[in-house]
């Protein structure tokens, strides 16, 4: 089984979702199914069908999260000692050579990625280009809008 890297924050978020699903969503769906069954004929019972659909979604999501957590390699960026190199979990500040604009990204697992929050997937083109680089290095990234050039300004592990 291959391991999937995930930050401690991402693992905690998945664990919280799993707890929510098991402790609250699953029992609520079971109650909804019981109430719908009490109404009689199940063949034309829309509430029963909706509750069964929701049960399928909840159970599927529980299995998905449990699978991800069992295959997860949890990495706490604050405990990394990568000697200034960009690695999984690192936060990197970049300067666009063309515009001089600075951006900051943290390299995270697939489930945690959210570009609006500055969290990029470790498998994204920019993250792959950054891995192994150090402060002062130039990086060339093939982006959807064309070739981009960045300079690595800082690398931190927070």
- The pLDDT value given to residue 1: 58
CATH ID of 77-156, from 3.30.70.890, 3.10.50.30, 3.30.465.10, 3.40.50.1820: 3.10.50.30
pLDDT per residue of the chain (158 residues) written in tens, 0 to 9: 588 899 999 999 999 999 999 999 999 999 999 998 888 777 778 888 899 999 999 999 999 999 999 999 999 998 988 888 999 999 999 999 989 999 999 999 998 999 999 999 999 999 999 999 999 999 999 888 889 999 999 999 98
**DSSP per-residue letters across 55-122:** HHHHHHHHHHHHHHHHTEEEE-GGG---TTB--TT-EEEEEETTT--EEEEEEE-TTT-BGGGTEEET
Q: Which CATH architecture has domain 4-75?
A: Orthogonal Bundle (1.10)
- The pTM of this model reads 0.84
């Amino acid at each position: 089984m291959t391991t999937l890297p995930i930050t401690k924050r991402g693992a905690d978020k998945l664990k919280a979702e799993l707890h929510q699903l098991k402790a609250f969503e699953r029992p609520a769906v079971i109650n909804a199914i019981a109430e719908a069954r009490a109404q009689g004929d199940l063949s034309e019972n829309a509430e029963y069908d909706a509750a069964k659909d929701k049960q399928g979604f909840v159970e599927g999501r529980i299995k998905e999260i449990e699978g991800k957590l069992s295959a997860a390699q949890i990495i706490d960026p604050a405990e990394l000692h990568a000697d200034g190199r960009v690695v999984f979990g690192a936060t990197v500040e970049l300067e666009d050579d063309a515009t001089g604009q600075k951006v900051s990204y943290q390299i995270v697992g697939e489930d945690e990625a959210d570009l609006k929050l500055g969290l990029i997937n470790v498998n994204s083109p920019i993250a792959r280009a950054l891995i192994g680089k150090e402060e002062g290095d130039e990086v060339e990234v093939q982006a959807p809008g064309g070739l981009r050039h960045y300079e690595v300004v800082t690398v931190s592990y927070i």
